[in-house]
Amino acid sequence: MSFHSAAAQLVTLAAEGGEHSGNHQSLNPYLVGGCVLAGLLVLLWITTRFNRDR
C-alpha cells in the first residue's frame, strides 16, 4: 500500500464521517463529562492517599 492510496482512503473515510459521526442520540455530553470528571477525581484521591510521605 503506497502513501498516496492510504491518504486517499483516509480522505474518503473523513468525508463519510459527517453522516456517521458515532454520537448516539441518547448520550448526554454533560452526564458523560460529569462521570469522567468524577472518575478522575476519585483516581486523584486514591493517588494522594498512597503518597502520604511527601
Chain segment 9-24, per-residue pLDDT in tens: 888 877 766 565 566 7
Q: How high is the pLDDT of residue 13?
A: 73
Sign of CA dihedral 22, 23, 29, 31: negative
d(CA 21, CA 2): 27
CA distances from 49 to 9, 30, 40, 43, 52 (A): 48, 28, 14, 10, 6
Q: How high is the pLDDT of residue 45?
A: 94
33 half-sphere exposure, CB direction, 13 A CA radius: 3
pLDDT-based confidence at 4, cuts 50/70/90? confident
Q: Where does 1-54 have alpha helices with state H?
A: 3-16, 29-50
Q: How high is the pLDDT of residue 5?
A: 85
Share of residues in the chain with pLDDT > 70 (%): 80
Model pTM above 0.75: no
